Amino acid sequence: MLSRPTSPPISKGLEIKKLILQGFNSFKHLKHLHAHLLRFGLCHDNYLLNMILRCSFDFSDTNYTRFLFHQIKQPNIFLWNTMIRGLVSNDCFDDAIEFYGLMRSEGFLPNNFTFPFVLKACARLLDLQLGVKIHTLVVKGGFDCDVFVKTSLVCLYAKCGYLEDAHKVFDDIPDKNVVSWTAIISGYIGVGKFREAIDMFRRLLEMNLAPDSFTIVRVLSACTQLGDLNSGEWIHKCIMEMGMVRNVFVGTSLVDMYAKCGNMEKARSVFDGMPEKDIVSWGAMIQGYALNGLPKEAIDLFLQMQRENVKPDCYTVVGVLSACARLGALELGEWVSGLVDRNEFLYNPVLGTALIDLYAKCGSMSRAWEVFKGMKEKDRVVWNAIISGLAMNGYVKISFGLFGQVEKLGIKPDGNTFIGLLCGCTHAGLVDEGRRYFNSMYRFFSLTPSIEHYGCMVDLLGRAGLLDEAHQLIRNMPMEANAIVWGALLGACRIHRDTQLAELALKQLIELEPWNSGNYVLLSNIYSANLKWDEAAKVRLSMNEKRIQKPPGCSWIEVDGIVHEFLVGDKYHPLSEKIYAKLDELTKKMKVAGYVPTTDFVLFDIEEEEKEHFLGCHSEKLAIAFGLISATPTAVIRVVKNLRVCGDCHMAIKLISSITGREITVRDNNRFHCFREGSCSCNDYW
């Protein structure tokens, strides 16, 4: 007579449970324990099997988990819920919905643990049809008062763009918790209703609910999108009152908000006060400096990050490369790019674009082209970067050819593509081509020209001397002209000395940005160039009365990986004596070559000899002289200036390039100038 198999001792079940609760150090360890469970005949213990299932999802091996589940003879609702939850947590949304269907076909009814995860899968897949069916089951099953189920429905409708329905469900939740409020706030953010999201956050606080870090991060992102510094500062005060300022995620979001709203002092204050900083915090601060025109600060902070042994990520490197590009710091940029695997640049379009931009803005188009050719994935942003880079460096016809390739490849150009093309036309003075590209935007590509495109056209027409056409274009624009558009016209008036039209442009500019000294200075220069000293004096007097100061001319040059800064008339550099001696030497050689200082570009009505002195110590000339005595004889002299290069300096640098046989690139706040053998790639001074 056969004896009946004895049931496994209870102690074995308890022992396995204890081992499971201790956790697993590897997937192999988990499978080993699963084998023990089978060996001791515990394969029908749904409680232990559920624990094994939950732990197996931690290793992201859903294939093994599915195999394990299908071996179970009689899975209960808890095991089905564990599978659906685990698949959703591993972003296997289609599989989660498939398991939900299998569960229903097996006759199981979903419960309040099933619905939130299935609805999350529907939301992520934007499967509103299935979501609505599940909503019906929720009501039929009597779960429509469950806060977690209803919150999942809010997320579903909001994610699928049905915000009105989401709000109806939200309003029907009898006892709303923070998660419910965060869901509706996120819904508003998802459809671009940032102001409404901030208003909902105010209501949350009025309900005396304490928001969690995720809610704070979301509402700060709404402030960032709006550029709403006032609301951001109010939320910052709330964060301090709630004692959440030490949270690394909240702190990083504050840094990002202040940086993108242009308040770098506040951003740095929050950053310095963070007790714990991760790479995202460092990256937000570095990118903030780069985006707000503070490249030197971005690089200094990156070097501090290096000293603290924080490994940079992709976005931090992009921020630093952007700062290096702005300063013309090619050597430093190449060192930074060396901190990342070269293949990352070739496979990551964001990194690749940043490297192309660095080389292009430093005048090294051959290396920019090499990066572009080597990239494995070329999206529209990458194509835009190389087209703009080529146009900026004077290779305008090649950039036009690349645009033709973009069309052949079926990549739809965007507004940035045409900004690159139009800037190239402006750079080379190609008026007809500029008109053709501008008109083709809407006619052939269904793109509505933005104010930036109108600004490019005004700049192109104005520089070509077609001031009336440029002015007429401004009048016919479908939107109000901004400071960029009027500034382009004013710049053209300066080149062609049209004082009357310049006055008109200046009135508009003063209305738009009364704090900008550049507008006053430009008009004063025009008056000075036409010997209208009284009018020029009135402009200067107006600046003084309004306490508007012209920022000093400042230029940067990189030598041996170190960025050196020069101000106009600077005598603080350790090599000042040698720099001025070199300038004197160059001036003598230039005069022999026929150079006569163009004193029309000096603002004040002073003696000719004194004017020549002022021109001689412009910051870009000092930087070039320093480069000539410090850099290797074959190195390209790369200078970046914060203001526009004046006409005299432009002429002088041409001669210096010819006399020394050196390639000199100067990028100012207006355009890129590349001087080779006494000629310049741009038509800035036609």
Is 90 exceeded by the pLDDT of residue 667? no
Find the domain containing 523 and state its range. Answer: 450-546
CA-based nearest residue to 312, from 281, 270, 350, 271? 281
State the pLDDT at residue 199: 94
pLDDT single digits (tens) 350-376: 999 999 999 999 889 999 999 999 999
Same domain, 568 and 488: no
- CA dihedral of 592, 594, 595, 601, whole degrees rounded to 10: 150
Does residue 641 form part of some domain?
yes
Domain boundary among 491, 517, 546: 546
Q: What's the pTM?
A: 0.77
Helix axes 415-428, 396-408, angle to 10 degrees: 160
Which of 169-173, 313-317, 607-611 is predicted with the least confidence, judged by mean pLDDT?
607-611
Domain boundary among 523, 546, 569: 546
How many structural domains is the chain composed of?
2
Q: What is the CATH number of the domain that holds 523?
A: 1.25.40.10
Asked if residue 599 lies in contact with residue 646, where contact means CB atoms within 8 angstroms, the answer is no
Is 504 exposed, middle or buried, given 0-12, 13-18 or 19+ CB atoms closer than 10 A?
Answer: middle
Asked if residue 412 lies in contact with residue 446, where contact means CB atoms within 8 angstroms, the answer is no
Does residue 464 form part of some domain?
yes
Same domain, 495 and 458: yes
Helix axes 194-206, 178-190, angle to 10 degrees: 170
State the pLDDT at residue 34: 62
Would you place residue 604 in the very low, low, confident or very high pLDDT band (cuts 50, 70, 90)?
very low
What residues contact 434, with CB distance under 8 A and at least 6 apart? 422, 425, 426, 456, 457, 460, 461
Give the strand pairing for 554-559 and 672-676. Answer: unpaired
Would you place residue 52 in the very low, low, confident or very high pLDDT band (cuts 50, 70, 90)?
confident
Same domain, 561 and 675: yes
Same domain, 506 and 560: no
pLDDT single digits (tens) 316-356: 999 999 999 998 899 999 999 988 888 888 899 999 999 99
Which of 31-35, 513-517, 563-567 is predicted with the least confidence, judged by mean pLDDT?
31-35
680 CB-side CA count, 13 A: 22
Domain boundary among 546, 576, 591: 546
Q: Which of the 8 DSSP states describes residue 439?
A: H
Is 276 exposed, middle or buried, given 0-12, 13-18 or 19+ CB atoms closer than 10 A?
Answer: exposed
Range list of β-strands (E), 458-571? 554-559, 562-567
Tokens representing 290 are 């780069």
Same domain, 539 and 570: no
Does residue 662 form part of some domain?
yes
Same domain, 663 and 560: yes
State the pLDDT at residue 9: 52
Would you place residue 25 in the very low, low, confident or very high pLDDT band (cuts 50, 70, 90)?
low
Same domain, 635 and 520: no
Q: What percent of the chain has pLDDT over 70?
A: 89
State the pLDDT at residue 285: 96
Does residue 628 form part of some domain?
yes
Does residue 573 form part of some domain?
yes
Averaged pLDDT score across all residues of the chain: 86
Which of 24-28, 385-389, 572-576, 643-647 is predicted with the least confidence, judged by mean pLDDT?
24-28
CA-based nearest residue to 353, from 437, 286, 420? 420
Same domain, 501 and 529: yes
Asked if residue 463 lies in contact with residue 494, where contact means CB atoms within 8 angstroms, the answer is no
State the pLDDT at residue 308: 93
Does residue 389 form part of some domain?
no
Tokens representing 572 are 């603080």
The mean pLDDT value for 413-431 works out to 92
Does residue 274 form part of some domain?
no
Q: Tell me how long the chain is.
A: 686
Same domain, 577 and 460: no
Same domain, 606 and 521: no
Which of 6-15, 199-208, 497-506, 659-668 is predicted with the least confidence, judged by mean pLDDT?
6-15
- CA dihedral of 487, 490, 495, 496, whole degrees rounded to 10: 150
State the pLDDT at residue 681: 59
Is 50 exceeded by the pLDDT of residue 5? no
Does residue 575 form part of some domain?
yes
Which of 20-29, 219-228, 653-662 is predicted with the least confidence, judged by mean pLDDT?
20-29
Same domain, 487 and 562: no
Would you place residue 599 in the very low, low, confident or very high pLDDT band (cuts 50, 70, 90)?
low
Same domain, 574 and 668: yes
Adjacency order of strands within the sheet including 664-667: 562-567, 554-559, 637-641, 664-667, 672-676, 679-680
How far is it, in rounded angstroms, from Cα 474 to Cα 481?
Answer: 7
Which of 44-53, 388-397, 518-527, 640-649 is predicted with the least confidence, judged by mean pLDDT?
44-53
